[in-house]
Structure 1
Amino acid sequence: MITASTMLATIIQVLDTTIANVALPHMRGSLGAGVDQITWVLTSYIVATAIMTLPVGYLAQRFGRRNVFLWSVGGFTITSMLCGQASSLNEMVFWRMLQGVFGASLVPLSQATLLDIFPKEKLASAMGIWSVGVMVGPILGPTLGGWLTDSYSWRWVFYINVPLGVLSMIGIYLSMPDSDTSRKRFDYWGFAYLALAVATLQLLLDRGEHVDWFESLEVQLYALMAGLGLYLFVVHSATSENKFLSPALFRDRNLVAGLLFIFVMGIVLLATMALLPPFLQQWKGYTAVGAGMLMMPRGIGTMISSLLVARFLRYFDARVVMLAGISLVTYALYYMSGFTMEVSERDIIITGLLQGLGLGLVMVPTSTLAFATLSPALRNEASGLFSLARNLGSSIGVSIVMAVLSRSLWINQQELGARIQPSPDLAAALHSADSLLAMPAAITHELSRQAAEIAYVNDFYMLMLINLLAMPLVLLLSNPDRKAAKALKRASRSAAPSSPAR
């Protein structure tokens, strides 16, 4: 029951990172917001979540994991209902910000809970269950959001959280035991500096595409403040006796390597999902629900491999399984780098399924090895950092691919347009004035279509290269189970009696 309750809380939080995206055009009319203004519905949630992920470890240690979980799920449920009832943009942004504040702890605390309640030999199974919720949620979000918006109203995108949140609260209250608490002085300055760096970095990544990146003073200020916040945090951590982050976290090799690896893999994790919906809807003519259904095999593949990978880890080194997963994702992206506008549904389904299978093989061993050698007392704090690294990587990945896509579209249109050479016989072949008038529009559409095809292919190829660069990082992780098995084998050999000489 505790597993189901914590995972339900995880799913509703992760689902909300993408479920509202497809409802934004409908919200604009109801809330009276412009195109740029309505994006703050997403930005406020993302920034608040990033900031409040930082103190999750302290809050769980100070007030108890069960209490923090109950308050977080309760607050998330109530603010979801208030988001659905918002009548203005200001109200919506305010409630979405609070929704992010309460929801920030749900994913890291669910991971820490599963790590604690499962025995060591079943940690891979626990991380498999956790990965299903974390990775399938963003894939289901657009499909579910599109269906709710089309069938009912955009407000149901938020109301859907209420019954699920209530069920999660009841399950957590009945099944989760109280945890030990300890009084530790909170490092307010350390939190403030790191929160400034993380918040302004998220704002830079989220707003950059809308304001022409570093051509805008707004983005330049965000970059300056992010650098300043990080510098002040490093100096404060080096000189202060009271550290915001426990130094023991960074003495664990597997955790540090796991954070670095999940950050890089986070770049690929959501970037493909950010590219496919506009490709399918704008250039292939699918509806939001249709595009979501076509992307569903990726979620199915993730679910299958996440639930089966624990069995693979009994027979193979976790790092070998991770390399196999990266290879699958790389092959899928290589396949996608050959997409054209005439790509079939079969190819989209196959590449999505391969990506899902590969990501499941990567994420579960990563989560297992990252926490394999860490003290249980540090799990709350470490799980917050793990979620933050994954989310920052995803935000950076989405921003990179969308920026490259936008720039490539513009460059490709200019270069293709410069190469147009109409045939001298073309005008003679068009007999009517209407045909002549329709020529510029038809040419412009075909130019945009071919420019988009090249831009998307370049993005998929770039993601493939990033994925390949992640492979050497796997070697930074150590497998303590394999080391223990080798040590036991050596000990048994040395203890064996030697054969008598003849």
Structure 2
Amino acid sequence: MSNDAAPAAGQMPSRRQMLGFGALGLGMFLAILNVQIVAASLGPIRDGLKASADQISWVQTSYLIGEVLMIPLTGMLTRILSSRYLFVLSAGGFALSSIGCALASSMEAMVAARAIQGFMGGSMVPAIFVAVFRLFPDGRRGAAMAAVTVLGTLAPTFGPTLGGLVTAALSWHWLFLINVFPAPLIMLIGWRTIDWDKPDWSLARHIDLTGTVLLTLALGGGIYVLEEGHRHGWFGSVTITISSAVALVASLLLAFRLRYARYPVVDMAPFRQPLFIIGSAYSVLIGIGLFGTVFLQVLFMDMVLHFDPVTIGVVMGISGLAQFFLTPLVGWASDRVEPRLLLGLALACFVAAAWWLAGVGPGWGQGDFIGPQVLRAIAISFIFPPVSLITFARIAPRLVPDASGIYNLVRMLGGAVAIAGLNSMISLREVAHRAAGQADALALAFQDAFLLIFALCVLALLACCFLPSLKRSAS
């Protein structure tokens, strides 16, 4: 199958290709799992590395920075290396960097290892989206995307649960070492079964190194400013001012290069399709809802309620359990229900969950999180398939690798910005509430953060009413 080939009408992938699709799914699961597997164990990691409370979010943010730097490069790298070579190399690098995380003895070493781990895992996320559109015909892509959705949403949901149990039973080091065991298996399966495209080594001479550097400075610098700005007094700090200027200039130069370079680091042609722009905007919201709400809840349970890792894991596992039972319904609905209706249902549940969580307080117990966790599970389960179908509805097969990279980039970027921005917001709002003489200032700061997510979800729900209708292909 050539790089530009699409499956014939009704033609399903072979068993061998389905095995390769499964290996890609497990790779994506591990890559996304590792964003949140540390969430319930940030306290023990902080103590083990002797880090401060406002530094510990870098354990998650550095991973996301690595991911968002790699994801837009996957389109170019897939054309050069092929899906098979890129996946095998990424899985191997992911395993090695996981060992580096486990052996880290300082915060600096952990941040570096996590950034590399995220970078290597970044290519495994969009790879499966490329496979969906390369292997499955139109009438079956909804069900395939539902399967991807289950893996992609259960990973961050069960991450805190699994992480809390592993930390309690062994130690936080094993949060990273467990990645080493499945890596050889998926590398072997991937090498033998991923055959739907071929490498084009001649494209290597066209690698846009300048664009890659500008992309790194723009994304990395921007996230650094969001994460560290409140700690250094924002633009009263020379470091933050210089970092902001570098990120801004790099962004402007990158925009110019993407427009005029003959072989840009990211092909922006998908943005010529209005539906792709709309889908990408909703993908940002998914990143905020998926990672931001988990980050806030886990941090609230740790800092305000002082739950131990196992308790945090059990509470967060409620959402994962609900998603598991929703799986058959999601698969059935994805190929039968108008995408706008599914999207509206998901956003309405996000709105309700965010409003519920905006009432968090020191008196909350484990049972108080059940309602918002179930609502969040419904939202996450049903939002991925319609957004993915809307995003890729008009994308030509040859543009799928780049489109998949951009689509996943903006979602992960939304998550990275959410974690960094919400962390800064909590610090700022806590200071403001204390200055106003209000009791429970920290809890009030978390309420403000959840209200912000609520407002974003309300706007997205209103925008959903104006989306165009998509006619489904016959199965």
| Partner residue, 1:193 | 214
Select which of 122, 127, 133 maps to 2:151: 133
**Is residue 2:464 matched to residue 1:471?**
no
| Partner residue, 2:315 | 294
- 1:275: how far off? 1.5
SS in 2 for 1:54: helix
Evaluate the alpha carbon distance shift between residue 477 and residue 62 of structure 1 in structure 2; reply closer, same or farther with a 3 A threshold: farther
| Partner residue, 1:375 | 396
* CA distance in 2 between partners of 1:478 and 1:20 (Å): 40
- 1:23: how far off? 4.4
| Partner residue, 1:273 | 294
| Partner residue, 1:283 | 304
- Does the CA-based 8 Å contact 2:334-2:385 persist in structure 1? no
- Does the CA-based 8 Å contact 2:223-2:420 persist in structure 1? no
Evaluate the alpha carbon distance shift between residue 343 and residue 21 of structure 1 in structure 2; reply closer, same or farther with a 3 A threshold: closer
1:95-127 Cα shifts (integer Å, max 9, x gaps): 333322321101011221233222211211122
* CA distance in 2 between partners of 1:387 and 1:170 (Å): 25
| Partner residue, 1:181 | 199
- 1:31: how far off? 5.2
| Partner residue, 2:181 | 163
Select which of 27, 36, 41 maps to 1:9: 27
Alignment of 1:111-260 (within 5 A): 111-182=129-200, 183-184=202-203, 185-260=206-281
Aligned residue type for 1:191 = T
Aligned residue type for 2:209 = Y
* CA distance in 2 between partners of 1:87 and 1:397 (Å): 27
Select which of 368, 383, 387 maps to 1:362: 383
| Partner residue, 1:497 | none
- Does the CA-based 8 Å contact 2:43-2:302 persist in structure 1? no
SS in 2 for 1:161: coil
Select which of 341, 346, 352 maps to 2:362: 341
**Is residue 2:430 matched to residue 1:409?**
yes
* CA distance in 2 between partners of 1:88 and 1:363 (Å): 37
| Aligned length in residues | 453
- Does the CA-based 8 Å contact 1:302-1:358 persist in structure 2? no
* CA distance in 2 between partners of 1:37 and 1:338 (Å): 27
Looking at both structures, which has the greater relative contact order when contacts are Cα pairs under 8 Å and sequence separation is at least 6? 2
- Does the CA-based 8 Å contact 2:75-2:401 persist in structure 1? yes
- 1:29: how far off? 5.9
Evaluate the alpha carbon distance shift between residue 476 and residue 396 of structure 1 in structure 2; reply closer, same or farther with a 3 A threshold: farther
* CA distance in 1 between partners of 2:243 and 2:90 (Å): 29
- Does the CA-based 8 Å contact 2:101-2:176 persist in structure 1? yes
1:408-462 Cα shifts (integer Å, max 9, x gaps): 2222223236xxxxxxxxxxxxxxxxxxxxxxxxxxxxx3x3x334333332222
Select which of 118, 121, 125 maps to 1:103: 121
Evaluate the alpha carbon distance shift between residue 307 and residue 186 of structure 1 in structure 2; reply closer, same or farther with a 3 A threshold: farther
* CA distance in 2 between partners of 1:286 and 1:36 (Å): 18
- 1:364: how far off? 1.6
* CA distance in 2 between partners of 1:39 and 1:320 (Å): 36
- Does the CA-based 8 Å contact 1:187-1:243 persist in structure 2? yes
- 1:88: how far off? 5.3
SS in 1 for 2:37: coil
* CA distance in 2 between partners of 1:82 and 1:297 (Å): 31
Larger radius of gyration: 1
SS in 1 for 2:35: coil
* CA distance in 1 between partners of 2:154 and 2:456 (Å): 22
Select which of 52, 63, 66 maps to 2:84: 66
SS in 1 for 2:364: coil
Unaligned 5+ runs, structure 1? 418-446, 486-502
| Partner residue, 2:451 | 461
- Does the CA-based 8 Å contact 2:41-2:167 persist in structure 1? yes
Alignment of 1:285-324 (within 5 A): 285-305=306-326, 307-324=328-345
Aligned residue type for 2:27 = A
- 1:399: how far off? 3.0
* CA distance in 2 between partners of 1:263 and 1:286 (Å): 30
TM-score (norm 1): 0.82
| Partner residue, 1:329 | 350
Aligned residue type for 1:278 = L
Over aligned residue pairs, what C-alpha RMSD do you find? Answer: 2.6
| Partner residue, 1:439 | none
Evaluate the alpha carbon distance shift between residue 240 and residue 282 of structure 1 in structure 2; reply closer, same or farther with a 3 A threshold: closer
Evaluate the alpha carbon distance shift between residue 479 and residue 64 of structure 1 in structure 2; reply closer, same or farther with a 3 A threshold: farther
SS in 1 for 2:471: helix
Aligned residue type for 1:230 = S
* CA distance in 2 between partners of 1:240 and 1:314 (Å): 39
- Does the CA-based 8 Å contact 2:78-2:401 persist in structure 1? yes
SS in 1 for 2:94: helix
* CA distance in 1 between partners of 2:244 and 2:235 (Å): 9
- 1:282: how far off? 3.0
* CA distance in 1 between partners of 2:48 and 2:361 (Å): 37
* CA distance in 2 between partners of 1:7 and 1:476 (Å): 33
TM-score (norm 2): 0.87
* CA distance in 2 between partners of 1:365 and 1:304 (Å): 19
Evaluate the alpha carbon distance shift between residue 314 and residue 101 of structure 1 in structure 2; reply closer, same or farther with a 3 A threshold: closer
Aligned residue type for 2:372 = T
After TM superposition, the structure 1 stretch with the greater mean CA deviation from structure 2, 67-76 or 299-308, is: 299-308
